[in-house]
Amino acid sequence: MSQVIECVPNFSEGRNPDVIQALVALVRSVPGVALLDESHDTDHHRSVVTFAGRPYAVAEVAFQMARLASQLIDLQSHHGEHPRVGATDVMPFVPIREVSMQDCVQLARMVGQRIGNELKIPVFLYDQAAARPERVQLEWIRKGGLKGLADRMATDTAWVPDFGPKQLHPTAGATVVGARWPLIAFNVNLKSGDLLVAKSIAKAVRQSSGGLPSVKAIGVELRSQGLVQVSMNLTNYEETSLHVAFSAVEREAAARGVEVAGTEIIGLVPEQCLIDTAQRALHLDRFEGRQVLEMRLDSAESRAAIGRLVGTQPAKESPSLPAKPVAPTDAVVAEQGLTGGSVGALAASFAATLGTMVAKLNRARAAETRLSEIGTRLRELVQADRDAYAQVLKARKLPSNHPDRAVQIASGLLGAIETPMEIVKLCCEVIPLLRGLLAQAKPELQPDLKMGIALADAVIDGCIAMVEENMKVQPNQQFIASIRERFAVAEQMLVDAKSLCYTPPFDSCSQNMLNILKLR
């Protein structure tokens, strides 16, 4: 399963549709990243964009959005209800799938450093990425607004930014970059024009004033609607659910003789949060996600059954060789549109398939399951490498002065680096699994395992060479340093895998590749 990181940048612009659409269009232009949501508010004068994808593609989009916002948004002429300190006000990275919080912290620091160094915008790290305790909470950084932050930066050495210059950017201000767990932006509108009412309710319900745990709240005025609003962030919906937060605001409003006009969720909300809210609000004794129609239809079992109904063949859980084997000839490779990385992934998938076959015959269930999973993922990477290569070719055909040319080339190269890196790591798992089966396999099955080991070993050497070559033309040196650091984590896997293939452990080719990547 692919690594997925979410990014939810907040921009100090909610009234100019051209600026908002330019930011959204940038997300849509980069492969490997999916635009999930965009919302904006004229009273808050703020936009929130949510996107997700491969870690380094997400990082590249995040930086390019900060660059674009610094060109299009001028805080000197900005007036809105929402607290802010920057054109790109806050940029959190959120772990979604197959990534850790530390991965997001590393990405936040990398992007923050780039914003500070290249855009000359001071960057403050917050939440899980904070380097100082006084910067953990976003509201502490925003205290006093833009002027308050500028004064602290000028007079207090504790408020030197983590990256970038020691003074605010003249038009873009500062940017707060961090890593956090998923949160829910939940607003309750009140049938009142009295801002003091909203502020008093916000104070009553937020955690910092002794209210609900994991709730942040402020009172704001919605002049366009003639209402006031309690704007909340639920940082842990398991501690305080939507239903509990709403009930608290409704209760406090009633005590002040004010009714609720409506509510809104800004951005996205975790599925489980809605299930919990429905269960509590309706007093259901039992309610599970599998009772939701669309979720049940989306299950693997339902997809397989529906596939049979419409006359298609459902995907098998255990991998098998392709119905039409790909012959190792230049003609077929050209016809299939394969690349070096996709051929490597395909070859490695054959190695995993050979191991799956032997494991099944030997009733080695654990090895069979893992090799099956690896084979499935490797076959997915065949297309991933092909897509990355196609993106690079497409980007290089753009005119040299095209505004998106650089970001599209960088994004394609990221895919062309990340895919072979992942192939190498999977091969490092395949080799010891096959070697373990070799000790217990019957003599007639041992040549199959030896062939699989040789295939995986050759793929490792080829993919490391591809990573090195693609890194030479990757223009972003900070990405290169991060990639080397990330690959170094897997060095021991590579050492162990190679030691099972050769005596001495490394052949000259593999040793040279390790030296090139500075993994040792």
Quote the CA–CA distance of 63 and 50 in Å, as a whole number: 14
Q: Which amino acid is at 157?
A: T
- The DSSP secondary-structure symbol of 169 reads B
User: Which is it for strands 88-97 and 175-179: parallel, antiparallel or unpaired?
Assistant: parallel
Q: Which amino acid is at 112?
A: G
Q: What secondary structure, in 3-state letters, does 104-162 show?
A: HHHHHHHHHHHHHHHHCCCEEEEECCCCCHHHCCHHHHHCCHHHHHHHHHHHCHHHCCC
CA distances from 144 to 42, 83, 85 (A): 22, 9, 9
Residue 29: Cβ within 10 Å count: 16
Q: Residue 141 in contact with residue 127, Cβ under 8 Å?
A: no
Those residues with Cβ within 8 angstroms of residue 345's Cβ, 6 or more apart along the chain or in another chain = 378, 379, 381, 382, 384, 385, 419, 423, 459
Sort strands 175-179 and 215-222 into parallel, antiparallel or unpaired: unpaired
At 224, list the tokens.
């366009």
- The neighbour count for residue 157, using CB atoms within 10 Å, is 8
Cβ atoms within 10 Å, residue 97: 11
3-state secondary structure of 281: helix
Cα–Cα distance measured from residue 316 to residue 267, given in angstroms and rounded to the nearest whole number: 36
User: What is the C-alpha separation between 335 and 320, in angstroms, rounded?
Assistant: 22
Strands 123-127 and 175-179: parallel
Active site annotation includes 82: yes
- Tokens standing for residue 203: 């104070």
| Omega prior to 504 cis, within 30 of 0 | yes
Q: How far apart, in whole angstroms, are the C-alpha atoms of residue 218 and residue 397?
A: 49
Q: Which of 40, 44, 82, 243 is catalytic?
A: 82
Cβ neighbours, 10 Å, residue 366: 10
The CA distances from residue 186 to 233, 264, 265, 326, 350, in Å, are 6, 6, 5, 53, 49
Alpha carbon distances (Å) from 25 to 70, 301, 312: 16, 36, 36
Buried b (16+ CB within 10 A) or exposed e, 396-432: eeeeeeeeeebbbbbbbbbbbbbbbbbbbbbbbbbbb
Q: Measured in Å, how far apart are the chain's first and last C-alpha atoms? A: 28
Catalytic residue positions, numbered: 82
